[in-house]
Structure 1
């Protein structure tokens, strides 16, 4: 006869017995916990064996030719399925760690070479054809006038907003522009 661990306030032992089904449940619970722990250990061992069977430590040496995966390259444009999975081969110059190497990337072998630095050539668009319109803008708390300028032998998409002092032969073209605005206003 098993007694419960509960004691009464009078410090006398409680003489209630534990029901047999509760004892069976405790035994069942303990067996289930032991079985689960054993299954977890076996699963870890099984997964480790599978991993070890299919994965080997790379044995890179200097001057070996290797391919580089493009999986994590974010700068390659185009659809993912059409991209090459690997680029190279590249020559290993130095071993840095277990999986890290320094490679020799020849420009002729690069799959995606970095483009040269873009240098903007300030080509003059040519002589001014006419001033199309004026607008007033506020820069650093001061009102400034800018003029939309069209250049000879250029299309409308090449028009530029320029300040008065930046327009080539600005005085002549501004005089014509103001005169044309006066005549337009007088005709209205």
Structure 2
């Protein structure tokens, strides 16, 4: 039984990495649980932002700065609902 637990843990550790977010980084917040967006759910954006990280709460939660889209939401979010923001290159995409 211990061998199967160790094997499952090794497989999980290989496919999951700890996020390396830092205060001030820009992130996109998932809108899957947003109920305050009007209109067709199929046409809404998957992510809102970018929002800056205000504070880190352990490895699994972050606090983001409030924006207009996040005004009714709690600012502390699990890292599973955010992804790093990658800005586009101004020369390639004017």
Report if TM-score (shorter chain) is over 0.5: yes
Task: Find the counterpart in structure 1 of residue 41 from structure 2.
Answer: 80
Which of residues 97, 100, 107 is equivalent to 2:61? 100
Question: 1:1-188 alignment to 2 at 5 Å?
Answer: 37=1, 41-42=3-4, 44-106=5-67, 110=68, 112=69
Greater gyration radius: 1
**Higher helix proportion (structure 1 or 2):** 1
* Structure 2 segments unaligned to the other structure (5+ residues): 72-94
- What is the aligned-residue RMSD (CA, Å)? 2.5
Question: TM-score, length-normalised on structure 2?
Answer: 0.56
Structure with the greater relative contact order (CA < 8 A, sep ≥ 6): 1 or 2?
2
The Cα of 1:68 is off from its aligned counterpart by: 0.8
Q: Which segments of structure 1 move beyond 4 Å, counting only runs of 4 or more? A: none
What TM-score do the two structures reach when normalised by structure 1?
0.32
1:113 deviates by: 6.4
Residue correspondences, number:
71
